[in-house]
Amino acid sequence: MNSDDEAREAFEVIPAVDVQDGEVVQLVQGERGTEKTYGDPVEAAQRWIDAGAQSLHLVDLDGAFEGERRNADAIDAVLETVDVPTQLGGGIRTAEGAIDLLERGLDRVILGTAAVENPEIVAEISESHPDSVVVSLDAKDGEVVVEGWTEGAGITPVEAAERYAELGAAAILFTNVDVEGQLEGVATEPVRELVDATEIPVIASGGVATLEDVRTLADTGAAAVVVGSALYEGNFTLEDAQAAVNE
């Protein structure tokens, strides 16, 4: 097996459980008011685990927009129910808050705005909890955006990734907001550029509509892809997506 085959063999398809007002939703390009709802978070999480999910991607969308966790009860209910590794983002703004979540059983915290505004938070959390911080780099038009994708940060994803790798980040979650939630396909070049620029794993997100999109992202060298709308809308099954990159 060559290195490309090995990379694809290990590539993981991670279902998204994005929570707004206590319900699972998917947004188009991260904009409130565009959401479609998909029911109870615990039921959704269990559905994906039953379908073979190796881990789950949880997001408190209200927290992402408002700067503090708003769906803690719903997220906690998921964490108490599932037995696979979980990562959570949205409204985690302090090292203390992140460490509290990790000590309560969360496997990884996802930091976006907090990491951009205070990069040292990544090192602070990683010092006591190694391999636990995923830095979320969301990009619009090639620029990292924060505050629920509403403000530009004045830095490119590649520049940011290099900084966070040095500070101990376990992975980069890269979301291309230009294609997020539209079910119109992925943009692979920004993902490939990021993979080539950093030594830590890159998790891709945004725009996945078909099994071919999943295969294409696997071919960039990314470690995983987070999939939301395509799974909830039934474009393909989780089993088929994972099989597509393991063939």
What residues are annotated to the active site?
Answer: 18, 138
Q: Which domain holds residue 94?
A: 12-244
* pTM: predicted TM-score of the whole model, two decimal places: 0.90
- Determine, yes or no, domain membership for 66: yes
- Determine, yes or no, domain membership for 117: yes
- Determine, yes or no, domain membership for 5: no
- Whole-number Å distance between alpha carbons of 215 and 209: 11
Coil, strand or helix at 46? helix
Domain count across the chain: 1
Helix axes 188-197, 157-166, angle to 10 degrees: 30
- Determine, yes or no, domain membership for 108: yes
- Determine, yes or no, domain membership for 2: no
CATH number of the domain that 50 lies in?
3.20.20.70
pLDDT tens figures, 132-181: 999 999 888 888 887 666 788 888 999 999 999 999 999 999 988 766 65
- Determine, yes or no, domain membership for 199: yes
- Determine, yes or no, domain membership for 140: yes
- Whole-number Å distance between alpha carbons of 217 and 207: 11
Half-sphere exposure of 30 (CA within 13 A, CB side): 25
Residue 185: other Cβ atoms inside 10 A: 14
Cβ-in-10-Å burial (0-12, 13-18, 19+) of 195 comes to buried
pLDDT tens figures, 59-108: 998 877 777 777 889 999 999 999 999 999 998 999 999 999 999 889 99
- Determine, yes or no, domain membership for 4: no
